[in-house]
Copies of this chain bind each other. A is one copy, B any other.
Amino acid sequence: MSETMNVPTHLSAAHADFSKALAWVDGEVVPLDQARVPVRDLGLMYADMTYDVVHTWRGGFFRLEDHLDRFLASCAGLRLDPALSREGLRRRLADLVRRSSLQDTLVYFACTRGTAVPGTRDPAKHVAHRFFATVTPLILRGQPDEMRRGLHAMIARGIPRIAADSVNPAWKNTHWGDFHRASFAAKEAGAEMALLLAPDGALAEAPGFNLVALVDGELVSPDANVLPGISCRTMFEIADDLGFPARFRRLMPEELARAEEAFLTATSCGLFPLTRLDGAPIGAGVPGPVTTRLLNTYYDRKNAGWHITAAASIPPPDPG
């Protein structure tokens, strides 16, 4: 049970070569620092956009089809049209990764409602939507030392997650005002990470992370008021294979407070252990054996090509 946590050491900001970062925007590949959108893009003016982030590992996309599924569902829900087929998207993202010559990357891709049409705010009147994408070096949220210590979290009471009937969290969106407010509150209280409750008082998510707790021997993650996280699903698949029970259900703050272990999940880290909640230790106050086992298995599997699609195996975009 004293398994050591294995986290790659080379994926830090110090090692990242941002000179290789690229973007695809308005029909061109450009260096990232030249990639811009009009100040009257409705994604900026009214957060009228969606996005997704997939990562590559040793030159291969991790769960590319799952990210494309979610992006296309978000576009459909928000009535945004990236003007690219699924195959067109796949090729465009792969082309960007190949051109960067980076191996371990974050690939961000977005569709906005396009540039504002003077004299109207009617979203139905904007038909030329804008798709763009960027590729940047993968920097692990959770460098090895941070991962072995785990994050100190706080429940941001009084700042609920935006309600799902106002803005559907399953359609990945940029409405992070509640997250920012909670992050500032957490920082002021001496914590490193805010956890937000849904309006009904159940746990929802952290800024850009899903939450998982090991409660009475079962891994639990909130089943409502959250983005359906692909990293969370990955950890649940691994748990299933390893024989750890895992399910999505309503999770209350009192359960998290008495959890044996807890962690957050996101593309940029796989998982990130939580070791303190509201000033008290979670379980033993260190990343637990189930958390460690999941993370190590995650890296072992990715290294073995699990859910990986080599960028080189994807054809180039159609010309024009």
Query: Do A124 and B176 have beta carbons less than 8 Å apart?
Result: no
Given A36-B39, A38-B35, A39-B25, check contact A166 B183 (CB 8 Å): no
Partner of A121, one of B160, B184, B208: B208
Residue contact B177 to A13, C-beta cutoff 8 Å: no
A102 at the interface (CB under 8 A from B): no
Give CA–CA (A308, B119) in the complex, Å.
Answer: 23
Chain B residues in 8 Å Cβ range of A41: 44
Asked if A162 meets B163 with Cβ closer than 8 Å, knowing A44-B43, A132-B39, A199-B199, the reply is: yes
With most chain B CB atoms within 10 A of its CB, the pick from A39, A49, A139, A175 is A39
A175-B184 CB under 8 A given contacts A119-B139, A134-B39: no
**Cα A161 to Cα B137 with chains together (Å):** 38
Residues on B with beta carbons closer than 8 Å to the beta carbon of A124: 183-184, 187
User: What residues of chain B lie closer than 8 Å to A179, measured between beta carbons?
Assistant: 46
| Residues of A that sit less than 8 Å from B by CB | 12-13, 16, 18, 23, 25, 32-33, 35-41, 43-49, 51, 78-79, 110, 118-124, 132, 134, 136-137, 139, 141, 158-163, 165-168, 173-181, 183-184, 187, 199, 207-208
